[in-house]
Amino acid sequence: MSVKTPQALRDATTESKQAGENGRVVYEQFILFGDSITEGDGNPELGFSCYQALQHDYKRRIDIVNRGFSGYNTSNALAVLPRIFPTPQQGPVRLVTLFFGANDASLPDTTGQHIPLTTYTTNLRLLIQHPAITSHSGVRILLITPPPIDEWGFDGWDEPGRSARTAGVARAYAEAVRHVGEETGVAVVDLWGKCMAEAGWTDDDTGKDSKLLLPGNKKLERSEALARLLYDGEF
């Protein structure tokens, strides 16, 4: 265990950008906002954690805040955002990740989480433009596509013979995130594409009108790559 010297304590305070009321140090923040995939980031049993890696890389400089909410879709996110996001005075936000879609993409009349694709894209734009976020000067936003679906991973989760999530629908919601990013100029992490590349799939394999099945579809043999990457069928 290391003991900070008075000089080290002074250094720690000068690394912050602002001072709050009564001289209290206010650190800038990165906020990771998403569903259960974000909430579960940091579980040591699941291997690499982006949340923990950021905490390590930005220690004593920026607070990394996990605001993952299991089961949430983009409509839930819009409802809760004003209540969980700090004001610039409470803590200036430098970066916010928006990682929703896995629940939105559930099929209608299954889990109760489904959000139609057009509403999903509208919700993403509303999140990007929300005053709770844009009130932070210079804040950067990062969109993350929902991951692929390994339909095999949902054995025991869904009703017998009925799946609440499919590989093809997951692709459509990932494409919607990329389109919103292009329209708004917001950076996008194409998690869906990266995972599918690990499964050996490329954009040349299936066009938008192709009837070829995607890796993860239960009509194909199970993809070992997706089974490894998607621990519960969807990440």
- Above pLDDT 70, what percent of the chain? 81
Classify residue 119: in a domain, yes or no. yes
Residue 102 — pLDDT band, cuts 50, 70, 90? very high
**Between 134 and 6, the higher pLDDT residue:** 134
Classify residue 153: in a domain, yes or no. yes
Classify residue 15: in a domain, yes or no. no
* Residues spanned by the domain of 217: 24-229
- CA distance readout (Å), 126 to 62, 63, 75, 121, 130: 26, 25, 10, 9, 6
Largest Cα–Cα separation, the chain: 67
- CA distance readout (Å), 121 to 11, 124, 162, 179, 181: 44, 5, 26, 9, 10
Rounded Cα gap, residues 152 and 158, in angstroms: 11
In this predicted structure, what is the pLDDT of residue 42? Answer: 80
In this predicted structure, what is the pLDDT of residue 75? Answer: 98
In this predicted structure, what is the pLDDT of residue 133? Answer: 98
Residue 43 — pLDDT band, cuts 50, 70, 90? confident
In this predicted structure, what is the pLDDT of residue 212? Answer: 73
For residue 89, give the CATH number of its domain.
3.40.50.1110
Classify residue 116: in a domain, yes or no. yes
Buried b (16+ CB within 10 A) or exposed e, 86-106: beeeebbbbbbbbbbbbbbbb
Residue 35 — pLDDT band, cuts 50, 70, 90? very high
Report the catalytic residues. 36
H-only helix segments in 100-235: 117-128, 131-134, 167-184, 191-198, 224-229
- Mean pLDDT, the chain, rounded, equals 86
First to last CA, the chain: 36
Classify residue 6: in a domain, yes or no. no
Structural domain count, the chain: 1
